[in-house]
Structure 1
Amino acid sequence: MPHSSQTLLPLFLFFYFTTLTTLIVSDQSPATSDAVSLLSFKSKADLDDNLLYVLHDRYDYCQWQGVKCAQGRVVRFILQSFGLRGVLASNTLTRLDQLRVLNLQNNSLSGPIPDLSSLSNLKTLVLDRNSFSASFPPSFLFLHRLRTLSLSHNNLSGLIPVELANLDSLICLRLDSNRFNGTLPPLNQYSLRIFNVSANNLSGPIPSTPTLARFQTASFLGNPGLCGEIIRKACDPRSRLFGSSSNDTASSAPLGQSAESHGGTLILSSPTNSKKHKKSSSSSTGQILGFAIGISVFIASFLLVIALVRKQSSSSKHIESPKMSSSALEAAREKKLGEIEGGDRHKSGKNLVFCGGEVELYTVEDLMRASAELMGRGSIGATYKAVVNGKFSVTVKRLDGGKTAITSNEVFERHMEMVGQLRHPNLVAVRAYFQAEGERLVIYDYQSNGSLFNLIHGSRSSRAKPLHWTSCLKIAEDVAHGLAYIHQSSRFIHGNLKSSNVLLGPEFEACVTDYSLSLLADSSSSSTDDPDSAAYKAPETRNSGRKPTSKSDVYAFGVLLLEILTAKYPSQHPFLVPMDLKDWVRVMRDDDDGGEDKQLGMLTEVASICSAISPEQRPPMWQVLKMIHEIRESATIQANSSKL
């Protein structure tokens, strides 16, 4: 018996340590590693503590700002314009081996870019408008799935590696506004559609590849040493009429001797033959000068003829312009985008202004020719869906000139530039804007899943059923994220929050749109608002002429939350004390399941606090977001306890 126990003891210890090792390894799962990576990134890159990253539960990080997960792994990390300051340290994001999109645009990150070769699934890498330094990261050459590589507006220097041409999947390559030098690699990827190396120190001839030949001169500007046919700059500064200079060759000959060049062979002649050489040289020089003068006269005559033809052509166009304005082509253009005056924009020479360093994917002329569909009319203009060049779907807001308070083009431009810098996963990005005589357009990303209004209310012919409470919670959290970002990262507010101004993204995330456009509206034109729009207005702004504030947005959020919970239009919401409001929400939802009663009550309480009559009693948006996070944590704990 003692012998048996001695035999079992080592076996027991073996199983014990095996089990312990398994537990430790399981604790270091890929999901846990992702959370550690994000927290490590924050510790080095967020010195001002702008990111609200707190880990209470295993998968909390999938709900963090800028993070999107698939099956518990981080696949998208987007932190545009978050005010990040610090460094992108190695061994932080480099452990997110399932990452497909990394976007840290428009922050204040500095130092070198670390080795990212471990991110083998990365397809989009955007690090524009930071202060990254050092040379082109060689690790990028191993990211063979990259489709977008954007490093513009940094302090990167050194050579652009030739191996960059081996990234066969590249669609977008932006290296502009850095300090790269040397020659341009012979890029010839068929897939490359967006390309810019302007404002660097590149030199030498631009490679004559079919891919580079597709791009305009603007893609290469700001490199004084570049030359080639693409930018219409000759690489040899000497004229071909005179060939190679014989003077330089002769000056290298010994004293008392002259040099001649025949077929590349240098022949030295004696002093006795110098007079004959000078005579022949003088004769040939005279012939060359005569030939050059003849060519110059011919060129001058040719240019004069072209100038006369252009003058006649322009005068004839001026005479025929009334006919052109009534042509079928112009009429078709006038019809696009709901009577937008495309011809006037073309004459003005203006173009779309793309915001936040966005790539110019299309022009006003492309937008003017696009197929357009009226989606609705709002308080300051109409909204259209436009399909540009048959592949880009965008939303175009055409502002009504009679309803806007800002008349100065400069003020409008400054306003849109600042609004266009706002980037957040729960905001519909402003991509571009346009203004000309009597026309102002704002271009957004198109969201194919429609608006929150349609999701809540459906068709007016059928009775809308309230959304499941988990959907209500998710939508409320998304909208709160977007509003809190606007309030904290800028001096702007939304000013016109309502369910029709919340769109559903590709993964059905709630994205706020039309933010800060209300600041352009003329307050005197808002008296015709429908009852539902009026119900969103905070009491202090109704019929008082007072401008909305961030607390006005909080009030509108409270109204929106009740609309989500009950599927009732805002004009049908009763004015009730908090306890009665909870009972009304329960009745409107007609819920028999009491399991969600606690969370519903908490959400209703948030709506009631946000809808307080006095602005001073309403919490700031970041506190509202914190309340919603606590409700979600409470729901998670309750769900876990019910499984036990």
Structure 2
Amino acid sequence: MPPPLLILLLSPLLLLHSLANAGSLDADVAALTDFRLAAGPSGAALASWNLSANPTPCGGAWRGVTCAGGRVTRLVLEGLGLSSAEALPALARLDGLRVLSLKGNAFSGGIPDLSPLAGLKLLFLARNALSGPIPPSLGALYRLYRLDLSFNNLSGVVPPELGHLDRLLTLRLESNRLTGGIDAVALPRLQEFNVSNNLMSGRIPSAVAAFPAAAFDGNVGLCGAPLPPCKDEAQQPNASGAVNASAAGDCPPAAAMVAPAGAEAQGGGGKGKMSRAAVVAIVVGDFAVVGLVAGLLFCYFWPRLSGRRSGKRLQQGEKIVYSSSPYGAAGVVAAAGAGGATFERGKMVFLEDLSCSNGGTRRFELEELLRASAEMLGKGGSGTAYKAVLDDGTVVAVKRLRDATAAAAASKKDFEHHMAVLGRLRHPNIVPLTAYYYARDEKLLVYEYMPNGSLFSLLHGNRGPGRTPLEWAARLRIASGAARGLAYIHHSGRRGSGTPKLAHGNIKSTNILIDRFGVARLADCGLAQLGSSPAAAAARSAGYRAPEAPPPPRPWASHKGDVYAFGVVLLELLTGRCPGSELPNGGVVVELPRWVQSVVREEWTSEVFDLELMKDKGIEEEMVAMLQLALSCAVAAPEQRPKIGYVVKMIDEVRACGEASPSQDESVDESSGVSDSPAVSEGGALSQ
């Protein structure tokens, strides 16, 4: 039957009316009103939702409602006794919603289709009376970070569509009646996970096997690590290809229990006794094994005890080996003689009195350094760094400068002058240069050892289950320390002395080290002026080198370039990404500042922030302030960048505001592990 003419004439008008109301605050008010009416008598807790007394939900008077940019973005109604099976679908019309938490109520019925809430990041429906299956439409909420459906009456299998939520950090499905396997929840970024007390079965995927057994308990059908092994694993074939008899429940064959002929005569008539020849063979074998082990230990430890040096190249990480240098402990005198009268033998030069009584590094000779056991810490543009343990247990960091650097061609006088300048840099946020060694073919720098690694390893190392995220307060503390160290370097030149002020020249997260007290210290100060090989300089410049810098390998460093690089480091702290890292869509961040600016221009500022910061509460304003500061440091025009002293001041102000502001924990409890607010306001782009 064709529709009436009146319907056909009015349908365009109805469509225009619906489009006019969609995506507006009026539409949000209508959805909230319908939600309250559907809640019935239990909606008495929402008496503040009164259009007569409070005409707008964005004034702060509507309970649990928060707005941003003229839209309702956060709805948190926890523990209010709300109960209804018809109320939840109305919330699917709040298409600007970022946070939805209805924990601790009595909502019943099924979970509605929430796919229209495309921007939803936090969804908490725990501790209600929801039933039915988990809707596959939840897989369309691709921005979701936290999903908590625990302590309900949900049934059915976990839909495979949840595997599309590759940003998910929290997934809690415990205490329901879910069945089937859990292959769909093997998500890469999960930090909090629980499916305990359900009816699930099957093997636990390796992607979630790192979570504790408590996350899977109460599912009698689940097996595999961290729970007991599955039955098919208990009956794996042994080395001969036969199933273990005890595991299979079979008795050993009768022939295995028959003693060989003549056993009593050989064994002295005692049943089950071992023959004398067998005993002798076992004893001889034991002695042979002990002798072999002793020989291996002797071969391993004797070179260390005797102090002898072989000409072989040992494995990387076991010893510092300077195979290309003629200045080893055995050949240093001969090399000096071969160099002619105009070239002096190399020696260790200590830059100031750093005796053990003063808490510094004691003096030592080159021979003792070459004897030190060591491991490689990493390779950089200026050389390779090692951790060296001297004979008395003293630990130092040694950097061997690359042969291709300009330092190799620099005169001894210029090199010594530059080392003297760097040796005077003494500040709590700078790794001190304590000594150096200069020879024609070998140049070594000795630093105080920093035991807690680099900022790079803290930010980017071992991401996945079991990782301890770097919290926001620690990131601010590291940023403040690194900025103070850089400010000291920039102002290290003495007034009136004619000494030019230094620049660091190689600011990056791998050169921000953490000492034993957790204090950030800048490493490799002033080494960029020595130059580097083209490949090393290109690697160093990836993402950190200022646009105005000349192409590598020309030595270059400036205050403005340092500020640019420090701005990139601040962006690393905020985004959790390093320059050159891959994006989720397969793209590559070549210039991190440009990528951040493009995201901010699209008014999705919160999308740039590290997911690991989502658990910290009340830090949105601090992150936005730091983002503005980072982008001001990393602008393309050098004259528009602030001085490092201003950067230090701004970071300190952000830290002071964070320490003075109260925690925002009114709506999401600690079990959720995340702030009840998205990372920042969704209102608009930052001003540049």
TM range (shorter): 0.3 to 0.5
Q: Which has the higher contact order (CA 8 A, sep 6+)?
A: 2
Bigger helix fraction: 1
The alignment's TM-score, normalised by the length of structure 1, stands at 0.45
TM-score, normalised by the number of residues in structure 2: 0.43
